[in-house]
Structure 1
Amino acid sequence: MPFRWPALLAVVCALCALALGLVFAGDHAPSGLDTAAQSAIAGWPHGLLRALVLPTEPYVLLPVLALLIVWCLYALRPWDALFVVLGPGIAVMANTWALKPLFDRWKGATLVYPSGHTVSMVATLVVLVLLVHGLARTITAIVGAVLLAAVAIGMVGLGYHYLTDVVGGTLFAVFAVLAVRGLLTRLAPRPVRVRSGD
């Protein structure tokens, strides 16, 4: 049986997101790491911080997902188009309706763990990474990591989230999208192989 790194990565991310969530469950105070991150970013220009969180906004992500769906359908990849819909969709819904109430971590009057904006963006990035191949996959992963770092700075600097919320959102999004991908891969019909000589 071939080594299945996506399954291993999904399990590791799920366990880490769960462990981190349990540490901060019901908590209203930042951790030492969160406080250090806030101190490091304090004083950054508000306009810059707002620009850094733009990749998490629905009006940015939804057109990207729509273009991916059109591309998949044009390339006659209907199961990939379904993946584009279900991957981020399930991740966001599960995070909003299940995980945030479950972990019950607050910042002011808002449930913040895992970060919903982070889940949305990272889920979209993971979908894109899985749909492309070769050098394009490497470039997408690198650009995605840079975007994630920028988003983390923006979220923390604007006071929207603690750094640990962003980490938890990243871990959960990776798990959720990989899990959806694995399920769809099992459900998708296999191509018929014609034996030579038939």
Structure 2
Amino acid sequence: MPAVICGLLALLLGLPFAGGTTPGAVDTAAAAAVAHLSPGVLRALVFPTEPYVVLALGLLAVALCLRAGRRKEAVLALVVPVLAILLTSWLLKPLYDRWKNGTLVYPSGHTVSLVAVLTVLVLVTRRVLVAVLSAVALLAATAGLVGMGYHYLTDVAGGTLFAAAVVLLTWPSPRREPADPAQGEHSFTTPGS
């Protein structure tokens, strides 16, 4: 259900801006909030969206899956972010036709690639620390993308929602295993692991 909600929100969020170049009030406020940051700081904030960083994080997710013997998840960790990126570039950007600086911007491809890989990492590791670090990386990247003028805030929000939707829709749900009476707890596994 969260995947469907994220997907619908991503699709709806872009509608008011389709075919245009004008920022919304929230976009203008976000740009003003980060306007004081220096170009060096903004470049550092955008760093998590660099292709080599996203690729390294994706390969880390694949390696973690293989190490745990979860081959199906390893394939998904590789394929699903690519699927999200391709859908964004070939379907959604032309469909929404929102432009900034001569480039289609909704939803943000930078954000889709980063969030897809980070969502996979959170699902693979199931660690709160990974979720927190992922959120920090996304917030930093958001400030950088808006501050550098690459995207409006709504582009980043749409990319975040869309990437999360694609990953959650395609990722196998953990299933609850029967309790081990010796340990007195339940464990979770992923189908096909």
With normalisation by structure 1, the TM-score equals: 0.85
Residue type matched to 2:137 in 1?
L
On the 8 A contact 1:103/1:113 being kept in 2, the answer is yes
The structural deviation recorded for 1:190 is 5.3
Cα displacement string for residues 24-46 of structure 1 (whole angstroms, at most 9, x for unaligned residues) = 11011100111111111112110
Sequence identity percentage: 52
The equivalent of 2:6 in structure 1 is: 13
Cα 1:35–1:189, aligned 2, differ >3 Å: closer, same or farther? closer
The equivalent of 2:178 in structure 1 is: none
The equivalent of 1:117 in structure 2 is: 110
Please list every run of 5 or more consecutive structure 1 residues that lacks an aligned counterpart in the other structure: 1-7, 192-198
What secondary structure does 2:171 align onto?
helix
Q: Which is richer in helix?
A: 1
Runs (4 or more) in structure 1 with deviation over 6 Å come to none
Find 2:47's aligned residue among 32, 50, 54.
Answer: 54
With normalisation by structure 2, the TM-score equals: 0.87
Find 2:151's aligned residue among 161, 171, 187.
Answer: 161
Matches within 5 A, 1:173-192: 173-182=163-172
Is structure 2 residue 33 aligned with structure 1 residue 40? yes
Find 1:144's aligned residue among 134, 137, 145.
Answer: 134
On the 8 A contact 2:6/2:164 being kept in 1, the answer is yes
CA distance in 2 between counterparts of 1:86 and 1:155 reads 25
The structural deviation recorded for 1:103 is 0.5
On the 8 A contact 2:85/2:113 being kept in 1, the answer is yes
CA distance in 1 between counterparts of 2:44 and 2:94 reads 29
Find 1:90's aligned residue among 83, 88, 96.
Answer: 83
On the 8 A contact 1:21/1:113 being kept in 2, the answer is yes
CA distance in 2 between counterparts of 1:35 and 1:190 reads 46
CA distance in 2 between counterparts of 1:17 and 1:79 reads 27
Please list every run of 5 or more consecutive structure 2 residues that lacks an aligned counterpart in the other structure: 176-189
The structural deviation recorded for 1:101 is 0.3
